[in-house]
């Protein structure tokens, strides 16, 4: 590959979790004006933004203006792990966050992935990297941490899809087979050229299977931004990795605390979540049993086809006996791979490939939600989604919306380019995935833009009914919902639709706590949960940790030693996080400090969205399908249950038609939604319009002059909570 | 009659925790069970843990996944 630009630097070692330097790569503005800089990390940045997503938001804030749009050159992709990222003593410590302005939501987005990229970036000398501008040709950015050099190379790869690119680049930059594990690649795929669902694939090399494996920062369209910048791939290489590469203050504590969790995983995973043998796909039948599995665009919560997608069916298809951690030391090993799997469609038809996953979200989204209960189909769809660079969650939910529009007659076979897109139409749906990747025709190009744009364009181009589409489209803030049915949990309406970036379950998953356990009886209780859990979970994104070892494995006596919501917090694991944070950074925080660290960034991100013209109450949209049944067939699956809900609301169902009952229940739940919004905003220290108050930002210490000025322009006295 | 997570549940002689889990189709593994404020210590004991008439049972599902 032709070298276009090269920059030498002296890598700084990580000390107390930080190298205190970030890498800036400017790609010019289609003019070949490449630029490199080392930027210093200030104490204020560490104190207020911690790392990972916090660093990403701060650097992006400094890089863009309120007028910047996702496809402007000044938009950035910022990738950062965080201070704990890269330790090897505690499971799940290879996570990183990618922050960018999203094509889907037109505001900030942050998307996380495992893999080796962030740890190797840190050990190459950088706490974060900023990628800005647009190259004049397709390039590969290569960070050689071993030799202190960053290069920009002209890509000569014909196949732009992730597995081809990743495999090639591991081969290209490695000295020998053993060296391949010292490399990590970030790529998208050909779909990123056409779709706003473009994901970023982060690689790690699997020496036992001798293939590069992929983990996805799937959501929000980061891959689309990467493609828009003309970057085929980012590559980092660093061969010197040890258990003390982060420069921890107290390595002994890391080893001791990590050892406790490794023992829990070894002793209890098989009787708890089975992450090592099945991974998150263990949820398939559980969600079905609790009416939470999305079936036919979230219309229904269960289906008789569950036996065909039972986790046992997936377990049989995964390679056994090869634990798959995506960073050194992760004994939870949730990553799963199939044995060689023969593809039956698409450009690689007939080839045998190793497929990563499916995880639960993919098994449900590219499965039950589109009416397909066939693991072989889902595995193939999963492979091509990753390969093409498509987020499997948005793809699954978006396709489910398409299928329902098709079945309702809002779009027809002529519109779809001849495809039968009924629920369960395996051939038609798979072909649409291939067409989306190629941008093959008008319909696939519209579908590729995401559900929010589909609503608009289906109405404009095909005359589809806008009201119906608004009711049934499971999107919030432009992002497709992840794969849980939330209708019967008021708290989870907030867990999905009162979030920073749209209905993604990484803020709060409160369905059991609310709907099954009945632990959140009042709006104040729900608001408290929607304060604590989003903030606690956000903390992982600041420091570079995976959420799964928090509560997908628990101490044996957690469920009897602690009662109520306290047990759900897994107090001993919270203390582990305090201990390892202090052990790495040398600080002396207590558990309450974790929430404050997160709250600071949570509010900053909300304010950032306000700066981008979003971030108000009107932007927290919640579709009718998210609140309850929209059509009669949904009601008639559980008529007694829904009649009971009407009675609880003080509405006598006697004598009402099902249509009328739906109208009453929807109106009642919409009023409940508004009450929830008020309580949550008040608890978060926001006004009625969802804007953080000046008191809140002063308390958190993020009252920077530009932030204060922005809030003063937007805060209205009549919108204050009294 | 007993209460299970705040809802009424028909009691019968010999009713066990496992009977309730089966009746309510509570198949999730990560749960804790409390009878009148006392935890059932061992998950293996659910099939032999009797629930008294008038008892208040809490079946708490932990958060997981995601």
Which chain B residues touch A518 with a CB distance below 8 Å?
Answer: 5-7
Whether the domain at A2-237 and the domain at A278-480 fall into the same CATH topology: no
The single-letter DSSP state of residue A512 is I
Which chain A residues touch B66 with a CB distance below 8 Å?
Answer: 505-506, 509, 547
Q: Is B65 on the interface with A (CB under 8 A)?
A: yes
Nearest CA in chain B to A533: B63
Q: Please state, in angstroms and rounded to a whole number, the distance separating the CA atoms of residues A512 and A572.
A: 21
Of A271, A280, A568, the CB nearest to B62: A568
Yes or no, beta carbons of B63 and A564 under 8 Å apart: no
Nearest CA in chain A to B35: A560
Q: Please state, in angstroms and rounded to a whole number, the distance separating the CA atoms of residues A544 and A94.
A: 6
Which chain A residues touch B65 with a CB distance below 8 Å?
Answer: 273, 280, 283, 360, 505, 509, 552
Architecture field, domain A491-553+590-719 = Orthogonal Bundle (1.10)
- Which of B6, B30, B36, B39 to mutate: most A Cβ within 10 Å? B30
Instruction: Determine the pLDDT at residue A279.
Output: 81
Helix or strand holding residue A353 (H, E) = strand A352-353
Tokens of A104: 């889907």
Backbone CA torsion sign across A128, A132, A135, A138: positive
Query: Based on the number of CB atoms within 10 Å of its own CB, is A410 exposed (0-12), middle (13-18) or buried (19 or more)?
Result: buried
Beta bridge mates, A108: A101
Q: Please state, in angstroms and rounded to a whole number, the distance separating the CA atoms of residues A327 and A117.
A: 10
Nearest CA in chain A to B41: A560
- Which of B7, B22, B35, B64 to mutate: most A Cβ within 10 Å? B64
Of B27, B29, B61, the CB nearest to A512: B61
Q: Is B34 on the interface with A (CB under 8 A)?
A: yes
Q: Is B32 on the interface with A (CB under 8 A)?
A: yes
User: Can you list the residues of chain A whose pLDDT is less than 50?
Assistant: none
Which chain A residues touch B62 with a CB distance below 8 Å?
Answer: 512, 551, 554, 558-559, 567-568
Nearest CA in chain A to B30: A272
Structural domain including B51 reads 2-61
Three-class SS of residue A184?
Answer: strand
Task: Write down the domain spans for chain A.
Answer: 2-237, 278-480, 491-553+590-719
Q: Please state, in angstroms and rounded to a whole number, the distance separating the CA atoms of residues A108 and A613.
A: 11
Yes or no, beta carbons of B60 and A285 under 8 Å apart: no
Which chain B residues touch A272 with a CB distance below 8 Å?
Answer: 29-30
Yes or no, beta carbons of A551 and B34 under 8 Å apart: no
Count of domains observed in chain B: 1
Which chain A residues touch B26 with a CB distance below 8 Å?
Answer: 289, 516
Yes or no, beta carbons of A518 and B6 under 8 Å apart: yes
Please enumerate in sequence order all residues whose Cβ is within 8 A of that of A522, keeping only pairs 6 or more positions apart, or say none. none
Query: What region does A109 belong to: left with phi over 0, alpha with psi -120 to 50, or beta?
Result: beta
Which chain B residues touch A517 with a CB distance below 8 Å?
Answer: 5, 58-61
Q: Does any domain span residue B66?
A: no
Instruction: Determine the pLDDT at residue A594.
Output: 97
Q: How many CB atoms lie within 10 A of CB A353?
A: 18
Yes or no, beta carbons of B30 and A560 under 8 Å apart: no
Q: Please state, in angstroms and rounded to a whole number, the distance separating the CA atoms of residues A130 and A80.
A: 9
The CATH number assigned to the domain holding B24 equals: 3.10.20.30
Yes or no, beta carbons of A560 and B39 under 8 Å apart: yes
Of A289, A509, A551, the CB nearest to B27: A289
Instruction: Determine the pLDDT at residue A644.
Output: 97
Q: Is B3 on the interface with A (CB under 8 A)?
A: no
Peptide bond into A76 cis (omega under 30): no
Q: Is B25 on the interface with A (CB under 8 A)?
A: yes
Percent of residues in chain A assigned helix, strand, coil, to nearest 5: 45, 15, 40
Which chain A residues touch B25 with a CB distance below 8 Å?
Answer: 289-290
Q: Which fold has domain A2-237?
A: Aldehyde Ferredoxin Oxidoreductase;  A, domain 1 (3.60.9)
Q: Is B50 on the interface with A (CB under 8 A)?
A: no
Architecture field, domain A278-480 = Orthogonal Bundle (1.10)
Instruction: Determine the pLDDT at residue A320.
Output: 60
Query: Based on the number of CB atoms within 10 Å of its own CB, is A312 exposed (0-12), middle (13-18) or buried (19 or more)?
Result: middle
Please enumerate in sequence order all residues whose Cβ is within 8 A of that of B14, keeping only pairs 6 or more positions apart, or say none. B50
Instruction: Determine the pLDDT at residue A323.
Output: 65
Instruction: Determine the pLDDT at residue A69.
Output: 98
Instruction: Determine the pLDDT at residue A322.
Output: 67
Which chain B residues touch A645 with a CB distance below 8 Å?
Answer: none
Quick one: which of A390, A325, A343 has its CA closest to A92?
A325
Quick one: which of B63, B60, B64, B55 has its CA closest to B16?
B55
Instruction: Determine the pLDDT at residue A342.
Output: 96
Do A133 and A229 meet the contact criterion of CB atoms below 8 Å apart?
yes
Three-state SS string over A469-505 comes to HHHHCCEECCEECCCCCCCCCHHHHHHHHCCCCCCCC
- Chain-centre distance for alpha carbon A455: 23
Please enumerate in sequence order all residues whose Cβ is within 8 A of that of B19, keeping only pairs 6 or more positions apart, or say none. none
Three-class SS of residue A27?
Answer: strand
Of B30, B39, B60, the CB nearest to A273: B30
Q: Is B23 on the interface with A (CB under 8 A)?
A: no
Which chain B residues touch A532 with a CB distance below 8 Å?
Answer: none
Yes or no, beta carbons of B29 and A273 under 8 Å apart: yes
Q: Which residues of A561-580 are buried (b: 16+ CB within 10 A; e: fewer)?
A: ebeebebbbbebbeebbbbb
Helix or strand holding residue A215 (H, E) = strand A211-217
Query: What region does A603 belong to: left with phi over 0, alpha with psi -120 to 50, or beta?
Result: alpha
Interface of chain A against chain B, CB under 8 Å?
271-273, 280, 283, 285-286, 289-290, 360, 505-506, 509-510, 512-513, 516-519, 521, 533, 547, 551-552, 554, 558-560, 563-564, 567-568
* pLDDT classification of B41: cutoffs 50, 70, 90: confident
Three-class SS of residue A354?
Answer: coil
Do A219 and A362 meet the contact criterion of CB atoms below 8 Å apart?
no
Q: Does any domain span residue B19?
A: yes
Determine the straight-line distance between the first and last CA of chain A, rounded to whole angstroms.
64
Of B27, B40, B61, the CB nearest to A517: B61
Instruction: Determine the pLDDT at residue A198.
Output: 98
* pLDDT classification of B65: cutoffs 50, 70, 90: low
């Amino acid at each position: 590959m032709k070298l276009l630009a090269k920059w030498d630097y002296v890598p700084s070692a990580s000390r107390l979790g930080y190298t205190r330097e970030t890498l800036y790569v400017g790609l010019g503005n289609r003019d070949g004006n490449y630029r490199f800089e080392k930027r210093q990390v200030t104490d204020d940045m560490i104190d207020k933004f911690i790392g990972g997503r916090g660093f990403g938001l701060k650097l992006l804030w400094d890089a863009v203006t309120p007028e910047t749009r996702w496809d402007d050159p000044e938009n950035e992709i910022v990738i950062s792990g965080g201070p704990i990222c890269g330790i090897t003593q505690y499971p799940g410590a290879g996570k990183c966050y990618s922050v960018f302005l999203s094509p889907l939501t037109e505001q900030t987005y942050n998307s996380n992935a495992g893999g080796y990229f962030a740890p190797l970036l840190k050990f190459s000398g950088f706490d974060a990297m900023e990628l800005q501008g647009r190259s004049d040709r397709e390039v590969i950015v290569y960070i050689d941490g071993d030799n202190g050099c960053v290069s920009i190379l002209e890509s000569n790869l014909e196949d732009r899809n992730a597995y081809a690119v990743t495999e090639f680049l591991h081969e290209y930059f490695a000295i020998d087979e053993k060296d391949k594990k010292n490399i990590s690649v970030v790529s998208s795929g050909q779909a990123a050229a056409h779709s706003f669902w473009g994901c970023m694939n982060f690689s790690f090399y699997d020496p036992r299977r001798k293939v590069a494996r992929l983990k996805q920062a799937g959501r929000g369209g980061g891959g689309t931004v990467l493609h828009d910048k003309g970057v085929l791939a980012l590559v980092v290489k660093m061969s010197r990795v040890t258990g003390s590469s982060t420069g921890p203050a107290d390595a002994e504590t890391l080893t001791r605390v990590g050892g406790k969790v490794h023992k829990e995983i070894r002793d209890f995973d098989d009787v708890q979540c089975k992450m090592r043998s099945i991974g998150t796909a263990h949820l398939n039948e559980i969600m079905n049993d609790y009416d939470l599995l999305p079936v036919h665009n979230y219309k229904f919560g269960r289906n008789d086809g569950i036996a065909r997608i039972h986790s046992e069916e997936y377990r049989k298809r995964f390679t056994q006996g090869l634990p798959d951690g995506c960073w050194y030391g992760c004994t939870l090993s949730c990553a799963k791979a199939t044995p060689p799997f023969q593809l039956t469609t698409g450009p690689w038809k007939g080839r045998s490939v190793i497929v990563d996953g499916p995880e639960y979200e993919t098994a449900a989204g590219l499965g039950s939600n589109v009416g397909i209960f066939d693991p072989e189909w889902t595995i193939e769809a999963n492979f091509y989604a990753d390969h093409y660079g498509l987020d499997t969650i948005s793809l699954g939910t978006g396709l489910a919306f398409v299928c329902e529009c098709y079945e309702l007659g809002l779009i027809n076979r002529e519109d779809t380019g001849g495809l039968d897109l009924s629920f369960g139409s395996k051939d038609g749906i798979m072909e649409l995935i291939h067409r989306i990747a190629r941008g093959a025709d008008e319909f696939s190009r519209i579908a590729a833009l995401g559900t929010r744009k589909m609503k608009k364009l289906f109405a404009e181009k095909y005359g589809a009914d806008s009201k119906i589409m608004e009711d049934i489209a499971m999107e919030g803030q432009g992002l497709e919902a992840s794969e849980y049915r939330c209708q019967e949990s008021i708290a989870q309406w907030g867990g999905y639709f009162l979030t920073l970036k749209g209905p993604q379950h990484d803020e709060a998953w409160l369905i059991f706590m609310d709907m099954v356990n009945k632990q959140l009886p009042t709006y104040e209780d729900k608001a408290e949960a929607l304060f604590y859990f989003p903030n606690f979970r956000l903390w992982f994104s600041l420091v570079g940790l995976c959420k799964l070892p928090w509560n997908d494995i628990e101490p044996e006596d957690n469920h009897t030693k602690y009662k109520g919501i306290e047990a759900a917090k897994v107090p001993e694991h919270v203390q582990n996080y305090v201990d390892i944070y202090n052990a790495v950074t040398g600080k002396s925080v207590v558990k309450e400090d974790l929430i404050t660290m997160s709250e600071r960034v949570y509010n900053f991100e909300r304010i950032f969205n306000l700066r981008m013209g979003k971030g108000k109450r009107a932007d927290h949209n919640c579709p009718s399908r998210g609140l309850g049944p929209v059509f009669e067939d949904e009601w008639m699956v559980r008529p007694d249950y829904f009649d009971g809900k009407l009675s609880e609301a003080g509405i006598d169902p006697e004598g009402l038609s099902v249509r009328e009952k739906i109208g009453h229940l929807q109106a009642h739940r919409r009023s409940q939604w508004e009450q929830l919004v008020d309580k949550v905003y008040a608890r978060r220290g926001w006004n009625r319009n969802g804007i953080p108050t000046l008191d809140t930002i002063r308390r958190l210490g993020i009252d920077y002059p530009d932030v204060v000025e922005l809030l003063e322009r937007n805060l209205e006295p009549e919108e204050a909570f009294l | 009659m007993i209460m299970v997570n705040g809802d009424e549940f028909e009691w019968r002689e010999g009713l066990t925790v496992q009977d309730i889990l089966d009746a309510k189709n509570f198949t999730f593994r990560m749960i804790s069970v409390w009878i009148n404020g006392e935890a059932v210590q061992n998950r293996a004991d659910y099939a032999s843990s009797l629930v008294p008439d008038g008892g208040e049972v809490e079946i708490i599902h932990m958060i997981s996944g995601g």
